[in-house]
Chain A
């Protein structure tokens, strides 16, 4: 089991290196040179000497391979350079905005789990009954509603019409409700569907029939056995979707003016603040990989067959 974990952890390294290579390639294939982008973002009229000086400062005069290796070394030390706009270290700027985003994503994760576990489970157990129709309706629409639009609909009904929640900003729990629901909706759709499918699959298993023939109470079969084994694919979904939460947060933060780092990222895009963009992209890729790793390890404890078969991460 230990070797499996170590092996699985090692698979992350090359993937992350490829990810850094992709961002590096993106920056260097860009039609705008970083020195020029820096001067443009800082509102300085570029002169030839200044460009040359900045190029040297950024190490752009060195061979590409050297530049790449240097950037990987810096990234491994969480040094993402200096923001072109504020001239402060990027990591400082990003980490000061992280708590707001974490608050938002955790809240929506909780909402998603609290709603989708009972809904998905009941939908699977009562297939083709009202609750099942409702869950299918919710999972189709939840996955297809543009979240920015859904956010504005919520603002319109609950803030403008009913005046229950503030339109935007951060502070009390009331500020958190609408953005968290907006961010949670696609996840609710997905988890409900995953759990429903998994419950249906489990109901076909021989152990359910066996438990029934032994005369075990239906409630206990469902609650003790089916639910427990059906929840495992949902945990995978959870890990897979932390990345979705992060990108979803970008849009939700834009809608609700939530001062997290998703909104900061959008500002950086408009300012072409390349170090901030790079930091955000790599951070998200890293979180995405690590969350998948954690989910794999959790799953291994739930389902020991995974390590016994030595199933490789794909």
Chain B
């Protein structure tokens, strides 16, 4: 058993390595209240802008809040909302992709032309436009990110469904009298899952990056909620005196996004899946 595990670790180095890092982040997300040395929002003006010490391992920010605690809680905010974006856009994309691919005809045409319209915009731009018109705020940013994101899932799922529809076992299921619902649930969904799982890892990186960009611009997560992009926004005024204040949260964003991207790409290479990299979309 241990020997086999060893072989697996050696042959799938990258996947194992990324999974371990992501598992660590998951643990931080869950156990942040227990690991964090302080309350992330506890203001202590007498101890502001301190360097690292035993009490504050990564120092304190301009309000004397513990940087380490804010970073740990920031993992909660970033990963939590990224998961929310991922689940919502996946569900919408799954439903629309299934309908478009399975029904075909004008339904497919209408849905896919609408998707083309959404994709006609560079993604961050549409998010900014929506937020601009609806007003800044976390809820609007989340809705906008989901609105931009479902399209990619819908397109991939539609493609898989279209190719599956031609398979003889689906025809056989139809002839033998399976209901549409049963065909979708038993034959189509299981086949759609593997490409989705890979896409999901890439999309998580995308969601974290964009959410933090919006927070950095002051449009997304609002203070005092700890979030990495917002922390860089707050820390930038102290670039001359306390540059580390913005270095830590940026490192965290980078680490998480690199890990998700690396994992997603290694998986898609391994399983020979062609996500839409031809279009040169950096996730």
Contacts and interface: CB of A to CB of B under 8 A. Distances in A.
Interface string B123-157: 11110111111111000000000000000000000
B21 to A, nearest CB: 13
A281 B239 contact: no
Interface stretch (B1-9, B38-46, B253-261): B253-261
Interface in B79-135: 113-114, 116-118, 120-126, 128-135
B187 interface: no
Give the bracket for the number of chain A residues in contact with chain B.
35 or more
Given A146-B212, A190-B280, A194-B280, A288 B120 contact: yes
Contact of A148 (B135, B213, B219): B213
Contacts of B136: 269-270
A141 B258 contact: yes
B120 A15 contact: yes
Given A27-B133, A237-B280, A251 B216 contact: yes
B128 A265 contact: yes
B250 interface: yes
A250 B124 contact: yes
A179 B283 CA distance: 22
B217 interface: yes
Contact of A145 (B124, B125, B254): B254
A19 B114 CA distance: 9
Interface residues of B, number: 51
Interface in A105-163: 140-141, 143-150, 152-153, 155-156, 160
B250 A149 contact: yes
Contact of B209 (A146, A156, A277): A146
A186 interface: yes
Contacts of A189: 282
Interface of B: 113-114, 116-118, 120-126, 128-136, 205, 209, 212-213, 216-219, 229, 232, 236, 239-240, 243, 246-247, 249-250, 253-254, 257-258, 261-262, 278-283
Contacts of A247: 122-125, 128
Contact of A254 (B132, B217, B253): B217
A186 B131 contact: no
Given A30-B133, A144-B209, A266-B128, 16 more contacts: A15-B117, A18-B113, A22-B118, A26-B130, A32-B134, A140-B258, A144-B258, A146-B212, A147-B213, A153-B247, A160-B239, A190-B282, A244-B282, A247-B128, A285-B125, A289-B120
21 contacts: A18-B117, A21-B117, A143-B283, A145-B254, A146-B216, A152-B236, A155-B239, A156-B239, A240-B281, A247-B125, A250-B124, A251-B216, A251-B217, A265-B132, A266-B217, A269-B132, A269-B136, A277-B128, A281-B126, A281-B128, A284-B122
